[in-house]
A and B are shown apart, each in its own frame.
Chain A
């Protein structure tokens, strides 16, 4: 990697003050260090966030839970309150990487991670996402790529947590200079839909501080299909969440991961109406096929996505 300046922040304000053009924040380092070693990014300054107090807390004291950006993936996977109340979040966390990665990687880093597209990550290539002229994946080897995209780049979002947090209506709190900004999860990624250079909607210097999760949704789940049984990226992931009161369903949402540059919302009037009979679930899942625009090698993701929608909804219903 290239030489860089190392700075250690002791507070959120301090981190913002240390931030200069060309600087990057370092939490677990799982994503950033990989990109630096491959010369994909070469920040002038790296601002270490790990010593900022309070960013590592899981606060469940009010009905909206607050998870600090430095909470590790392993802590989310193991947290008893999260497993009891937001099982989908714990499930999504437990599918991230390997135990070693989960012990180090953080919530903020997982949400802010960059594309894993093998053209983007290749040291000898300069693809569209890296400022080059071509998305090689669009005409090339695209079995891991998007079924939906609003721009020529077809690399999908791969954050497991983004998919479940979207389904749980979480809000991501950022510091943008002096301002505190709150984004929904779809807003956190919306720039990546239309802009091939964007991995998310974060602006240079933006710092994810914590994530707020409302807890009225008393049912949630996360499922993924990967080629390997462990330590592998999702080919497709699916999160479903909703509030069940008596026999009635409210605020049901279903999101897919690894099929679009954003967590992809599965839209259906049936979902909006909270109709989750097995016939309704079948029909929700069916409707996806007509919306997707598969590439040469990723059409198989459509049936997987359909199966996961069925299974996720069936799981929260049962």
Chain B
């Protein structure tokens, strides 16, 4: 049962984000804007080799470059590097050009070693090993339920397919990095991060100093998507450079080139799937054998955010008999990190694709097949809502049956996510003049967290949002944890709620006004004279929920002569609990869907087998959707205020690619088997494109 107001004044309305204007004006200062007195530019020297034994690094020529104040090595030689872009050393100096000159002056002696960058090649016993003393393929993760072979024998139909998803890069618009000042009395770090406390922990640990000497600030940051929890190797290097430079601050932000190499990615997947069902569509048997790579440390504890290249299977569906075998294979490439709904988009693409194949084999409408097999009552309801809004029944046709070279098609897919709240704390200060400050050691990774806190306080105090100021992004504030797993709104909103409730009680007793809210506010606050109220609150059960469902439907147009796919429309029905800021929720859903369009049609990290380099380390060739690629997006928020606040950052990016792939398959009359769905892939599917005219 939710303690949130039944007839809210602020909750659930459209609120422009209050820090929008200062962001637009450039007045909001990000880690990459920080210029503390005496600051130095910092840059990293990266390995140009995918595998090498580094014997010696001579920093002296770098220190001889005019303007250079410090140079450090990433490790003490000898050491191994295992991917193009692994850190060798770093320099700090008065200008970017001085740093570039210094990096090229550093002398590195290394023995170049054999390497492997393609997953299917890395699996072979004869291929070079990423780590000398262990095979590239990790121990497979196996799961079984029921008697799969028997279930397939009993099935009326079985379908199978092989599906691939590429390595996707986070490519946050603000690159990774920090501005760090390390002095004998402590360290100050302006970080671009989704977890100020994990940056603080990491720096203290890395540098061997106690936490009371570490101060981390991240008032604004430009995107993380799961890749920005710690200070990173770049943070440690910047701190050492600062120390080496006598305590001058060092601003070390990665370049766009660096972003493609060393700061995380979504693992690839190669999925061999088999599905068995009864005539009526009931799924009875599922088998998956998959492999993928989370980079050089594939299968390691941190790789991929879920431990390697595995993903949930058979995703959101319940099949009585299943056999799943998933392998993570190491290659000479940068390591994966959690990326917006780790594992789920890959899982969704494979499962929803094979499900559509089954729908065809059984001549059952794809939506009906899902409603028959989806265990979630919420999603089953959402399919009905989405189908109505989308016009599914009128639009769905047999594959490839629309006339002419421009073919239209439709597809659908569903998703799940946990989310939920955790132990955030917040503080509310009511000043004698009636002004209100809300403080929380969270950070806003672009989702509008500050605005959310403002809305909650304004709601509870009966004030306007403009009456409330908010402070976040500082480790001196009440602790709140990282912004990940779609947990921030569900953690922070209840903590602010709790602090406001306590403060309200204190104000009532201090002022003698039983309901000090709204029009009584200033009069009540005036009773405080010189002693403001400061109240602490913490997240508690009952104000937030967890576990959401969502479904999406896509309509596409496929040019069968050129292979070009255009997404015309996406309808999204998303379960979102209590909506705090409707505009921000819809905006976040738009963002998730656009990211899903990128995964569906454009994005892929491309490695070269001959040299081991990333061939597309920029936005020219690593293609992200632009404004012209964005279709009509129709969002239906399925309000369930009784469930409390629930995060929706991740679920909304999951089913988009699967729905688009199904729509392309429906249009083209051939099953899409890999992402991204480029003209090259579509024409490959069609083999001999129809000759019209």
Cβ of B679 and Cβ of A230 under 8 Å apart? no
On whether the beta carbons of B626 and A136 are closer than 8 Å, the reply is no
Q: Which of A119, A134, A297, A307 has the most CB of B within 10 A?
A: A307
Select the residue from B97, B405, B602, B621 with max chain A CB neighbours within 10 A.
Answer: B621
Contact with B along A175-186 (1 / 0, CB 8 A): 000000000000
Q: Is A41 an interface residue (CB 8 A)?
A: no
* B28 within 8 A of partner (CB): no
**Which chain B positions have C-beta within 8 A of A286?**
691
Interface size class of A (residues with CB under 8 A): 35 or more
Give Cα A136 to B678, complex, Å. Answer: 22
B566 interface residue per 8 A CB criterion = yes
CB of A227 within 8 Å of the partner chain: yes
Residues of A within 8 A of B616 (CB): 118
| Cβ-defined partner of B627 (8 Å) among A141, A230, A233 | A230
Q: Scoring A residues 295 to 307 as 1 if CB is less than 8 Å from chain B, else 0, what string do you get?
A: 0010010011011
Q: Answer whether residue A171 sits at the interface, using C-beta atoms and an 8 A cutoff.
A: no
* Known A227-B602, A229-B566, A303-B689; contact A136-B679, beta-carbon cutoff 8 A: no
**Smallest CB–CB gap between B642 and chain A, Å?**
42
* Residues of chain B in range 44-83 having any CB-CB distance to chain A below 8 Å: 48
Taking the complex as formed, is A44 at the interface, i.e. its CB lies under 8 A from any CB of chain B? no
Is there a chain A Cβ closer than 8 Å to B212's Cβ? Answer: no
Cβ-based interface call for B693 (8 A): yes
Q: Which residues of B contact A300 (CB under 8 A)?
A: 563, 679-680, 683-684
Decide if B680 touches A141 in the complex (CB within 8 Å): no
Q: How far is the CA of A228 from the CA of B627 in the complex (A)?
A: 10
The answer to the question of A243 belonging to the interface, with a C-beta cut-off of 8 Å to chain B, is no
Q: What's the minimum C-beta distance from B673 to chain A, rounded to whole angstroms?
A: 15
A232 and B623 contacting across the interface, CB-CB below 8 Å: yes
Q: How far is the CB of A42 from chain B (nearest CB, A)?
A: 12
Task: Report the interface size class on chain B.
Answer: 35 or more
Confirm or deny: B561 has a beta carbon within 8 angstroms of a beta carbon on chain A.
Answer: yes
Of B84, B601, B615, B691, the most chain A CB neighbours within 10 A belong to B615
- The reply on A231 being an interface residue by CB < 8 A is yes
- Is B95 an interface residue, CB under 8 A from the partner? no
Q: Is the CB of A229 within 8 A of B613?
A: no
Whether the Cβ atoms of A136 and B610 lie closer than 8 Å is yes
Residue A199 CB within 8 A of the other chain = no
> Is A314 in contact with chain B by the CB < 8 A criterion?
yes
B205 at interface, CB cutoff 8 A: no
CB-CB nearest in chain B for A281 = B693
Q: Are B626 and A229 in contact (CB under 8 A)?
A: yes
Residues of A within 8 A of B629 (CB): 228-230
Question: What's the nearest-Cβ distance from chain A to residue B615, in Å?
Answer: 4
1/0 per position for A200-231, CB-CB distance to B under 8 A?
Answer: 00000000000000000000000001011111
Q: Given known contacts A136-B611, A141-B608, is B562 in contact with A304 (CB within 8 Å)?
A: yes
Main secondary structure of the interface of B (DSSP, over half): loop
On whether the beta carbons of A231 and B626 are closer than 8 Å, the reply is yes
Chain A residues near B606: list those with CB within 8 A.
118, 141
A315 in the interface (beta carbon within 8 A): no
Q: How far is the CB of B270 from chain A (nearest CB, A)?
A: 18
| B284-311, CB < 8 A from A | none
A81 at the interface (CB under 8 A from B): no
Chain A residue numbers with a CB within 8 Å of B613 are 122, 124-125
A125 lies within 8 A of B611 (CB): yes
Interface residues of A in 230-244 (CB under 8 A from B): 230-233, 235
Let me know if A282 and B693 touch, CB within 8 A. Answer: yes
Q: By the criterion CB–CB under 8 Å, are B48 and A124 in contact?
A: yes
Question: CA–CA, A314 to B564, complex, Å?
Answer: 19
Q: Could you tell me which residues of chain B, from 637 to 689, have a CB within 8 Å of some CB in chain A?
A: 678-680, 683-684, 689
**Closest Cβ of chain A: how far from B357's Cβ, in Å?**
24
Chain A residues in 8 Å Cβ range of B684: 300
Chain B 252-280 interface mask (CB, 8 Å, partner A; 1/0): 00000100000000000000000000000
Shortest CB–CB separation between residue A97 and chain B, in angstroms? Answer: 10
- What is the bound-complex CA distance between A286 and B601, given in angstroms? 28
B561 CB contacts on chain A under 8 angstroms: 303-304, 306-307, 310
Asked if B628 is at the interface (CB within 8 A of a chain A CB), the reply is yes
CB distance from B88 to the nearest CB of A (A): 13
Task: A136 to B257: give the CA distance in the assembly, Å.
Answer: 20
Instruction: Indicate if the CB atoms of A303 and B683 lie closer than 8 Å.
Output: yes
* Residues in A whose Cβ lies below 8 Å from that of B462: none
Q: A297 to chain B: which residues have CB within 8 Å?
A: 680
The answer to the question of B542 belonging to the interface, with a C-beta cut-off of 8 Å to chain A, is no
What's the minimum C-beta distance from B332 to chain A, rounded to whole angstroms? 14
Chain A residue numbers with a CB within 8 Å of B563 are 300, 303-304
10 A-B pairs in the complex with CB atoms less than 8 angstroms apart: A118-B606, A140-B609, A143-B680, A228-B602, A229-B626, A233-B620, A306-B561, A307-B559, A307-B561, A310-B561
A-B complex: 10 closest residue pairs judged by Cβ atoms? A230-B628, A307-B561, A229-B628, A124-B48, A300-B683, A300-B680, A118-B615, A225-B562, A229-B629, A304-B562
A124-B611, A140-B608 known; 11 new pairs, CB 8 Å cut-off, are A116-B620, A136-B610, A228-B626, A228-B629, A229-B628, A233-B620, A297-B680, A303-B563, A304-B562, A308-B562, A310-B561
